Structures are given as structure tokens and as C-alpha cells.
Amino acid sequence: MSYTVIYWNRATTDVYDVIRSQAPPGWTLLTLEGESKEGWLGQLRDADFMIVADWGITEETLAAAPKLCMVQHQGVGHERIDKAALKAREIPLALCPAGTTVGVAEHTILLILAVYKRLVVADTKLRQGTWLQWGLRSTSFELAGKTLGLVGFGRIGQAVAKRAQAFDAQIIYHDPYLKQRPAAATWDAKEVPFADLLRQSDIVSLHVPMTDETRRFMSLPRFKQMKRSAILINTSRGAIVDELALIQALETKTIAGAGLDVFEQEPIKADNPLLRMDNVVLTPHIAAGTVDALREKMRSVFANLQRFVRGEPIHDRVV
């Protein structure tokens, strides 16, 4: 039997091709056409299933989709989805942890090294004709021997630890919600209280979900607990960090630098002071944005939709 799936996000043709390549035979993938919200809502009327990335889903969205049976998130951040409205319609929502771990872990290491080795400054100045062979030596660092503090030690935090161990970093972590503690010797990671992590770490890397409890929990008082030589890495969610406090901490040299893939407002505004700082490396929410990850995600997404069709329990259900 054929089903119609709508991709409730704007993307590029090549991304749509990857998604479509993983769909079951006979299934139809709808992609949004035009530039009007009214037009997009109109396309929902034939959708049996919805795949969403980072767009919101509201009562208005659901009202335009009378045939909708299930919403499948291609990631794990569901704060923009009206779960009460889904529950009222008895429409299940499922997440997709698959395809995220490796990309985010690799990107975390990338940001650490880019900040430490002043990569953006070196590249920019070289292109402008300035040869900084000696000019960055007093402000560049190695990951080896540094203490990496992981806030959150779930699948991504542990994947970062595994990779950081290969760089001879010392790894500590804090995660009061970890359901199963890893073996003490796992990647030589040591669990510590949060205050100790902030105080001891050369690098603080965030790997927690966005909840009411974690919203802006990286605040100015917490930046002041960090070493003045420390850097902050965020590949999790922008709202976990109080961005104005981070800007103040960077401007006053309360901390030494940051590597950020996520922001409180996305896309980031052109007048954001972070864009002018040479001790900050910024990327546009691309940590898990590889074609390898997308293929793996879509295989998992369509497998879950097929479970629903067969009447089997779906994986990673939220509602």
C-alpha cells in the first residue's frame, strides 16, 4: 500500500533526493513548494505522515492535515512541537537518535581544535596576505593534556570522550540523569560534581537536551566559575547558554574563547557581537549535517513509519 509523507522543512533538491532515496517503494515524498505559509499548509491535506527537522508544529499545522497519522522527527529536539495538540488528535510523535552521534562528536572535536589552533584567524589572515607563522604561537594550544569537561554523558557525550581520549585529553563529566553509569575505566572518564567540572576544565562542552531546567543554565555566575583560560563548546542547543552572558564573559576575558554550532536565535542576527570576535569559532547548526548522517537518519525514520503501518510499537516515542 502506498503512503504520502511530507517533509515539513525547507531544504535543497539534493537533500530531498537523499531523503527520497530511503523511502519504501511506492511511497510518495512531498516537499514544500512556493514561499507562502498558506501554500505549505495546503500541501498537508494529503499527508499520511510528517517528517520534521527543526520547524515547529502547531494546532494550525495539524488542522491543515486531516489525514495525518504520525509525526516523525528526524532528530531529538522537539521543543518546537505542540505535543498537547498531537495528543489531543492521538497522533504519535517519535524521535530519531540515529545518525546524530558520530557527526556531533566529530564536530565537537573540530570546534575544540579550531578554537585552540586559531584556525579561522590563521586562514583569514593568510588569505589577506598576512603570514602568521609566529604571530599565533603564544595564543594557540594543544588538546593533549587538557581537561575536557563534558556536561552530559549520554551517547554523544560518551562518543566525544572516546575521540578525545585519542588526543590524550583528561576527561571528566557531570550527568545526574544518566540512567546507567559507564564502567569507571570507560575512556578514563571521571564523574565529578558540576561545580568541580567548571572549576577544573580547560574545555567545557555541552551535551544536554533543552528543557526548562537547562534553559540558559550556562549563565554569567557559571562562566565566572570557569578558568579564565577555559573555552566553551556548544553543539547541543543554543538556549542552554545565556548568550548575552556568554558575550559579556568573552568581552571581559572571564573565559578565553568559544566554539558554537547553535544559538539562541537561528539564523544568528548580523549584528550579533559573537560574529566580530576572533576568539570564537561559529558554524550554522551543522554538527550532524552530513550526508552520511542524513542517510542513516532517513533509513531509521522510514523504518519507524513502517513499524506504525504494521501495527508494531514505534521506537523513541514521545507522545
User: Is 285 annotated in the active site?
Assistant: yes
Catalytic residue among 163, 199, 216, 285: 285
8-state DSSP, 42: H
Q: Which of 288, 314, 296, 316 has the alpha carbon at shortest distance from 19?
A: 296
User: Is 60 annotated in the active site?
Assistant: no
Q: Could you give the 3-state DSSP secondary structure of residue 85?
A: helix
| Residue the block writes with cell 573555552 | 231
Burial 40-79 (b: 16+ CB within 10 A, else e): beebbeebbbbbbeebebeeebbebbeebbbbbbbbbbbe
CA distances for 108 relative to 193, 205, 238, angstroms: 22, 8, 14
How far is it, in rounded angstroms, from Cα 124 to Cα 282? Answer: 14
Catalytic residue among 10, 266, 312, 317: 266
How far is it, in rounded angstroms, from Cα 313 to Cα 315? Answer: 7
CA distances for 213 relative to 104, 210, 216, 224, 241, angstroms: 22, 8, 9, 20, 12
Pairing of strands 257-260, 231-234: parallel
Is the separation of the CB atoms in 218 and 170 below 8 Å?
Answer: no
Catalytic residue among 237, 243, 264, 296: 237
How far is it, in rounded angstroms, from Cα 15 to Cα 275? Answer: 28
User: Is 315 annotated in the active site?
Assistant: no
Q: Could you give the 3-state DSSP secondary structure of residue 144?
A: coil
How far is it, in rounded angstroms, from Cα 251 to Cα 278? Answer: 11
Active-site positions read 237, 266, 285
